[in-house]
Amino acid sequence: MKLCIVGIGGCGGHLAERFLNNQDISLLKKSLGEHVSFGGVKGLWLEADVQETENQDFFGPLERGCYPGFFVPHDVIGSESKTSKLIVDRYGYDVKKQGFMRQAEFLKAVFEIFESDEDVKRTALSEHESENPILRAAWDRIRPYTTLTGPRDNNNGSEMCDGILFLVSLGGGTGTGFVNPITRYIRSERPAYPVFVLGVLTEEGTDPQQRAKEAKRDLGATISLYDLLTKRVGVGVDGVIVIDNQIMVEKFGQNYPAIDDYIHQAMKPFVAARHYPGEDPPSLAMREKFIEGQGLDHPPILVPCYFRDRRRKDPEENLVKKALSEGMLFGCDPAMAERAYVFTRGFVGLDKILGAVARQTGLAEDRIEPWRKLGENHADEILILLRNPYGEERGCEVKGNLEYRIHRVIRMALRYMDDPESNLIPDGMPDLTKTSLEDYFYGDDGVRDRLKVGLQRIEEGKKPFFLDERRIFERSNLNSGVLEPHRGGRKVDDEEIRRLVEEEVKRVLAERGL
């Protein structure tokens, strides 16, 4: 497995920098050779705020051939664009607005317009040769790092990525709003391509980085999580790895670079190379493991639990115990997990690690998937991704549970929606937009109602807590009603998908000599 790391927005960019940091040495910050990242990962940074890109020197503009590079997707829309003008006139949204105002619903609305308004689609197609030029441009920048453009090995020892990991902040602006549309866009072209999201939920109270109130951030996080978790399996992402910045802040204070370093360290077993011989599955096979099992209709929440210790004899029991107690990056009750995906670095026994995880979580061993890798610096590491570790009745009343934290986030989001000062339906917007936003937020079966249902389901210990997707313009007259696969890229029929999957499976089996 080799992942393409795509940081979206400010937080995503900071994290992506850790993942993509060059392991090679350089003179005066100039590397003459190929960029070598930990685990061989590749990637880029998608950012909506041009100023943010100017305040850093790690990423360079992709247009100038820089690597690692950043890309500002909405730059593909010119200032005199007819598409842009049509959207402003009809909906009041300026698609070139910097930073997207730290509102998840802004980007959600913009991309829904591209997906559902036939006039916008036609105009964009004639002007940009794509119905959704922003997402198309972003995907065109990601795709070259993946196996979708060529063979896995590019003949110089550098492998292409066979999966994508998006890094976003849940509660910011760009990351929160962009991750769902881009995932949907990729999925419409490549239904089986493995896509994961690592989302960092912003902390409670004041967050000096986001410069926004907790309730406002929580509404963004809730909308983003809602959209991520209500897609059907195979339509949305294959897993949402959640990290609670509240836990990180309690551990590191507001030293955000240290937090970013720790998150990268914790994810190293996931992205590292140097597998135990014969234990390197392609991402496609791993994806199947993440979404397998009866009753899983929606993408799972994955809670990471990490621990690192100096190498010692028989480390398995201690590693698992510490990871599941002091190493949780999002509070939860491990006993509620449906499955566990275990990534280790160091010398650990397969049976021992299975046994230890089974004992500590109560899971049957056939619900535990271990992947082992060689370690470094005389240390053993473990990362356990617990699948959907929630669902206890009244679990939301137990501090430290996933239900407790999510319940609080949803409550804060509802509070923000009910605050007259929130101005979620801005004055000056066209009636169409105002009506649609009103309906989306406050209408019958709108987000407000659905979040209340979500709260109730959490309290009752039901899974999943969010049920059906809700779109902003789904009841507007201009909506075609059906979200079609995008045009402008190449449309792929079922037969071709079947053929591609068969070829990939054959290739993998041949690689393994089966």
Partner 1 sequence: MNGLNETVASAQAVDISSPSGLVPEGLTSFLADVYSNGLLGLGLFLLLLALGLALHGLNMKRTYERVAATTNGGEVSRDDLREEMFVRQGSNFNAAAVTGWLLLFVALSYFYFLTPEIFPRYNYYQVPTLASGPLGFFAFGFVVLLLALGAAAFVPREFYGYYELSRRMKVAIMLTGPVLAISILLSVQQGTTFPQVEPASRLLAFLALFASELALLWPIYAEALGGMR
CB 260 within 8 A of CB 326: no
Minimum distance from residue 223 beta carbon to partner 1 (Å): 40
Q: How far is the CB of 85 from partner 1 (least distance, A)?
A: 48
Residue 145 Cβ vs partner 1, minimum distance, rounded to whole Å: 16
Q: Compare residues 50 and 374 and give the one whose CB is closer to partner 1.
A: 374
Q: Strands 339-345 and 368-373: what pairing?
A: parallel
Tell me the three-class secondary structure of 287-356, residue by residue: HHHHHCCCCCCCCCEEEEEEEEEECCCCCHHHHHHHHHHCCECCCCCHHHCCEEEEEEECCCCHHHHHHH
Residue 198: strand, helix, or coil? strand
**Smallest separation (angstroms) from partner 1 to the CB of 270:** 16
Sequence length of the chain is: 514
Name the percent of the chain in helix, strand, coil, to the closest 5: 45, 15, 35
- In angstroms, give the least distance from the CB of 365 to partner 1: 13
Give me the 253-292 binding string for partner 1, x by CB under 8 A, dash otherwise.
--------------------xxxxxx-x------------
Q: Tell me which DSSP letter residue 489 carries.
A: S
Number of amino acids touching partner 1 (CB under 8 A): 34
CA distance 343 to 321: 15
Nearer to partner 1, 273 or 455 (CB): 273
Segment near partner 1 (CB under 8 A); pick from 16-24, 166-174, 409-417, 461-469: 16-24
CB 161 within 8 A of CB 130: no
Return d(Cα 11, Cα 16) in angstroms, integer.
Answer: 8
**Of 23, 154, 255, 480, which lies in the binding site for partner 1, with binding defined by CB under 8 A?**
23
User: Residues 332 to 391: which contact partner 1 by CB under 8 A?
Assistant: 347-351, 372, 374-378
Smallest gap from Cβ 36 to partner 1, in A, equals 4
> 22 vs 435, which CB is nearer to partner 1?
22
Site for partner 1 in 50-79 (CB under 8 A): none
At its nearest, how many Å lie between partner 1 and the CB of residue 25? 5
Of the pair 273, 425, the CB lying nearest partner 1 is at 273
Question: Which residues, 6+ apart, have CB-to-CB distance to 215 below 8 Å?
Answer: 412, 413, 415, 416, 419
Q: Return the number of the residue (108 or 372) whose C-beta is nearest partner 1.
A: 372
By C-beta, is 32 or 514 nearer to partner 1?
Answer: 32
Nearer to partner 1, 185 or 343 (CB): 343
**Nearest in space to 17 (alpha carbons), one of 54, 49, 59:** 59
**Residue with smaller CB distance to partner 1, 21 or 254:** 21
Asked if residues 218 and 409 have their Cβ atoms less than 8 Å apart, the reply is yes
Q: Which is nearer to partner 1, 261 or 449 (CB)?
A: 261
133 cis-preceded (ω within 30 degrees of 0): no
Binding mask 197-236 for partner 1 (x = CB under 8 A): ----------------------------------------
SS3 of residue 224 by DSSP: helix
Q: Which of residues 27-46 bind partner 1 (CB under 8 A)?
A: 27, 31-34, 36, 40
The single-letter DSSP state of residue 74 is: G
| Shortest Å distance, C-beta 258 to partner 1 | 17
In whole angstroms, the minimum distance from the beta carbon of 347 to partner 1 comes to 4
Closest distance of CB 41 from partner 1, Å:
12
Calpha distance 91→87 (Å, rounded): 5
Least separation in angstroms between residue 155's CB and partner 1 is 14
Q: What is the DSSP letter of 479?
A: B
Q: CB 508 → partner 1: shortest distance, Å? A: 16
What values do phi and psi take at 204, rounded to 5?
-75, 160
Residue 482 as a binder of partner 1 (CB under 8 A): the answer is: no
Report the distance separating Cα 156 and Cα 134, nearest Å: 32
Q: Cα dist. 370→23, 97, 343 in Å?
A: 27, 45, 6
Least gap, CB of 384 to partner 1 (angstroms): 18
Q: How far apart are alpha carbons 25 and 36 in whole angstroms?
A: 10
Exposed (0-12), middle (13-18) or buried (19+): which is 492, by Cβ within 10 Å?
middle
CA 509 – CA 207 distance, rounded (Å): 49
Does residue 464 have a cis bond before it (omega within 30 degrees)?
Answer: yes
**Which of 122, 311 has the CB closer to partner 1?**
311
Nearer to partner 1, 23 or 149 (CB): 23
Give the nearer residue to partner 1 in terms of CB position, either 216 or 372: 372
Residue numbers 139-178 binding partner 1 by CB under 8 A = 157-158
Between residue 293 and residue 312, which ones bind partner 1 under the rule CB under 8 A? Answer: 310-311
Instruction: Kindly tell me which of 311 and 491 has the beta carbon lying closer to partner 1.
Output: 311
Strands (E), 249-300: none
- Residues lying near partner 1 in the complex (CB under 8 A) are found at 22-27, 31-34, 36, 40, 157-158, 273-278, 280, 310-311, 347-351, 372, 374-378
